[in-house]
Amino acid sequence: MNAMNRRGFLAMAVGSVALISGARTISAHGGDGTPMAGGMHGAMPGGTPGAMPMGGAAGAFMTITNGGSVDDRLIAVSTDVAQVSEIHEMKNVNGVMMMSPLPDGLAIPAGQSVELKPGGYHVMLIGLKHDLNPGEHYELKVTFEHAGEITLDVPIFATKNTFADADKLEPVMVGDLKIEGVWTRMAPALLDASATPVTLDPSATPAH
C-alpha cells in the first residue's frame, strides 16, 4: 500500500470516528406548520425532502454580549435578502466540518459574550435572492427571548481578514444585550433564470 493510500485510509478512519463521536440528534419538530422557535422564518417550503429554496447560502456573524443578570436566547432571525434564515452551529472535528441547525436558538447567558464567527455559530441565510457583494449592506432582524427584536445593518466583506481590517460599525444595544462586529462574507445567489422562487406559507409567518 503506497503512502497516499495509507494516508487516505488513515484520514478516513479518523474522520469516521469523529463523525460517530460528534453525531447530533435533532429532535425539534415543525410539522404542524407553526413557526419554530430557534430562527425559522416561515414554514418549511413544501416539496420533496432534500429540496431547498432556489438560491445560494451565506453566513452572518457577530458578537453578542449580555450585560444583564438574566439569561437570554437568540430565537429568530429574518432578512429580505434570503428566503429563509436559521441559526446554525459549525464544528470542525478533526478536519471534518459538521454543521447543524439550532432549532431552540442560541443561549446568550447573563454576563457572557457569545461569538458568531466562521467555523462556529452563525446565522445561515438560505435561498439568497441576490448576490451579496463586498461593499454592500443588507438588513437582518434578530429576535431575543427577553431583549426583543432589533434590525441590524450588515456590511458584506470579501474575507474575514478584510472585515478585521475595516472600521467597525458602532455597537447596537437591545435591552441588556450589546451587538457588535456584525458582518457577512460575499456569496453568490445561484439563481436560475427559469426558477420560480419558493413561496412561504403566509399562515406560518411569525407575527412581528
Task: Pick the closer one to another protein by CB: 51 or 70.
Answer: 51
Hey, what's the cell of 147?
431583549
CB 122 within 8 Å of CB 61: yes
Residue 90 binds to another protein (criterion: CB under 8 A): yes
Among 114, 140, 152, 187, binds another protein (CB under 8 A): 187
Cα torsion angle, 75, 80, 84, 88, sign: negative
Q: Smallest distance from the beta carbon of 79 to another protein, in angstroms?
A: 13
- x/- mask, another protein, residues 132-171, rule CB under 8 A, reads --------------------------xxx-----------
Type of residue numbered 7: R
Q: Which residue matches cell numbers 407575527?
A: 207
Candidate segments 62-70, 81-89, 145-153, 172-180, binder of another protein by CB under 8 A: 81-89
CA distance 42 to 83: 9
| Beta strands 122-128; 177-185: pairing state | unpaired
Type of residue numbered 74: L
Residue 33 binds to another protein (criterion: CB under 8 A): no
Q: Smallest distance from the beta carbon of 175 to another protein, in angstroms?
A: 28
Hey, what's the cell of 161?
481578514
Q: What radius of gyration do the chain's Cα atoms show? A: 19
Could you list the residues that contact another protein (CB under 8 A)? 2-4, 7-12, 15-16, 18-19, 26, 28-30, 36, 40, 44-45, 49-53, 56-59, 83-84, 86, 88, 90, 92, 95-101, 103, 118-119, 122, 124-127, 131, 158-160, 185-188, 190-192
